[in-house]
Amino acid sequence: MNPSQYAQSHFDDFIDELKRLVRVPSISFPGFPKEEMDRSAQAVAALLRESGLENVQVLLFEGGNPYVYGDWLHAEGKPTLVLYAHHDVQPVGREELWQSKPFEPEERNGRLYGRGAADDKAGIIVHTSAISSYLRTMGKLPVNVKVIIEGEEEVGSSNLIPFLQKYSQKLAGDVIVITDSGNFDTGVPTITTSLRGHIALEVEVKVMKGSLHSGTWGGPIPDPVMALSKMIATLVDKEGRVAIPGFYDDLRPLNEVEKQSMQLLGYSDEIFRKQAGLFPGVQLLGGDINPWLKKTRLPSIAIYAFQASSRKNAGNIVNDSAWCKIGIRIVPDMDPKKVMKQLQDFLLKQVPWGVHVDLKPLSADTWWMTDPQGPVFEKARRALTKAYGKPTVAIGEGGAIPFIRPFSELLGGAPALLIGVEDPYTNAHAENESVHLGDLKKAILSAVYLYEELGEQ
pLDDT tens by residue, 368-418: 999 888 999 999 999 999 999 999 998 888 988 877 888 788 777 889 999
- pLDDT attached to residue 408: 83
- pLDDT attached to residue 178: 94
β strands within 268-366, DSSP E: 300-307, 317-318, 321-330, 356-365
- pLDDT attached to residue 165: 81
- pLDDT attached to residue 257: 76
- pLDDT attached to residue 352: 98
Give this prediction's pTM. Answer: 0.86
For residue 262, pLDDT over 80 is answered with no
For residue 255, pLDDT over 90 is answered with no
- pLDDT attached to residue 339: 98
- pLDDT attached to residue 409: 83
- pLDDT attached to residue 445: 98
At residue 171 the predicted structure's pLDDT band, cuts being 50, 70 and 90, is confident
For residue 225, pLDDT over 80 is answered with yes
Q: What are the distances in angstroms from CA 110 to CA 15, 27, 33, 179, 329?
A: 12, 26, 32, 21, 32
Task: Give the residue-averaged pLDDT of 299-312.
Answer: 94
For residue 182, pLDDT over 70 is answered with yes
- pLDDT attached to residue 164: 80
| Residue that wins the pLDDT comparison between 127 and 159 | 127
pLDDT digits (tens, 9 = 90+) for 18-31: 999 999 999 999 99
Say how far residue 172 (Cα) sits from the centre of its chain: 23
Which residues are paired to 175 by β-bridges? 81
- pLDDT attached to residue 322: 98
Asked whether the beta carbons of 88 and 27 are under 8 A apart, the reply is yes
At residue 120 the predicted structure's pLDDT band, cuts being 50, 70 and 90, is very high
Q: Is 93 exposed, middle or buried (0-12, 13-18, 19+ CB in 10 A)?
A: middle
In the CATH hierarchy, which fold is given to the domain comprising 3-195+368-455?
Aminopeptidase (3.40.630)
Asked whether the beta carbons of 56 and 48 are under 8 A apart, the reply is yes
- CA 234, 237, 241, 243 dihedral sign is negative
- Nearest CA to 58 among 72, 44, 47? 44
- pLDDT attached to residue 280: 95
Domain ranges of the chain: 3-195+368-455, 197-251+299-365
CATH 3.40.50.300 fits 197-251+299-365, yes or no: no
Task: Give the residue-averaged pLDDT of 47-76.
Answer: 94
Rg from Cα positions in the chain? 23
- Nearest CA to 181 among 172, 194, 171, 197? 194
Task: Give the residue-averaged pLDDT of 98-106.
Answer: 98
Chain-wide mean pLDDT for the chain? 94
| Residue that wins the pLDDT comparison between 232 and 62 | 232
Q: What is the C-alpha to C-alpha distance for residues 44 and 67, in angstroms, rounded to an integer? A: 9
DSSP reduced 3-state for 193 = strand
pLDDT digits (tens, 9 = 90+) for 124-136: 999 999 999 999 9
Asked whether the beta carbons of 285 and 241 are under 8 A apart, the reply is yes
For residue 457, pLDDT over 70 is answered with no
Asked whether the beta carbons of 201 and 359 are under 8 A apart, the reply is yes
Task: Give the residue-averaged pLDDT of 172-182.
Answer: 93
Q: What is the C-alpha to C-alpha distance for residues 436 and 441, in angstroms, rounded to an integer? A: 9
Task: Give the residue-averaged pLDDT of 296-308.
Answer: 95
- CA 272, 276, 280, 286 dihedral sign is negative
